[in-house]
Amino acid sequence: MKKLYLCLGLGIALLGTVMVYQQWQFTHAVAAAKPKSKLTPVKDKVVATKTVAKPIEQSQVTVSSYPAAQVDPARVWLAVKGHGILTTKTKLHIKQIAAGTHVKPDNVQSVMYTRAVVQVATGDLGDTRNVVTYADNHDGTVTLYGPIPYEWDLSVDGHHEYDRVVRADTQGMLEHQQIVAVPKGQDAAVLKLVELEA
């Protein structure tokens, strides 16, 4: 009887071992049959995206959206002339003038600018009341010159008396100087002026 129980116990143990082995083979076969995924974790994967430039909405436009060559003349105009032009549709004209340029460009008897200057003008370009001529002092101030026309009448070449007057007049324009502080801020007004620039 003991032998029978012993044989029965060994048979059950053997059967259990066979079943575990078959289950392991089945699992292994199923895993081998599945195609291996080629996906990589998101953190390791670089996804190329196409960036589409969106037009800048008016509310997104700030003073920093424009270069200094456009913003600085607008700030100077506001400091010197105020807000008067902001209600008109007149264009704001800007001219960069290098040092060594004749103040009256078509007359060699005219004195020359000793510094690079900027001219900002509006309305009648021959009317000096509509012109601001300045050199940046790079310390929050500018040196104003003039009044100096934005556009000049043509010279009478070779006329001695005329040349003498031109030299004296242009010398006086450069000697007539005023230091003006150019405050930061007023961004809304500056942006309106920048939009009026020709």
Each residue of 8-28: pLDDT tens digit? 555 565 555 545 555 656 555
Residue 28 lies in a domain: no
| 36 domain residue, yes or no | no
Q: By the 8 A CB rule, do 114 and 97 touch?
A: no
Asked if pLDDT for residue 91 goes beyond 50, the answer is: yes
pLDDT of residue 95: 95
Question: Is 55 within the bounds of a domain?
Answer: no
33-37, 116-120, 157-161, range with the lowest pLDDT:
33-37
Please indicate, yes or no, if residue 5 is contained in any of the structural domains: no
Closest by Cα among 153, 147, 152 to 129: 147
Instruction: With respect to residue 124, please indicate whether it lies within any of the assigned structural domains.
Output: yes
What is the domain count for the chain? 1
pLDDT tens string 46-89: 444 444 444 445 557 788 889 999 999 999 999 999 887 877 77
Specify the pTM. 0.66
Residue 49 within any structural domain of the chain: no
In a domain, 174, yes or no: yes
> Residue 168: its pLDDT value, please?
93
pLDDT in tens, 143-154: 999 899 999 877
Is pLDDT above 50 for 107? yes
The token pair that represents 180 in the structure block: 């003006």
Residue 82 within any structural domain of the chain = yes
Give the Cα separation of 78 and 161 in Å (integer): 38
Q: What percent of the chain has pLDDT over 90?
A: 43
Q: Which domain holds residue 187?
A: 63-195
Tell me the mean pLDDT in the region 113-128: 88
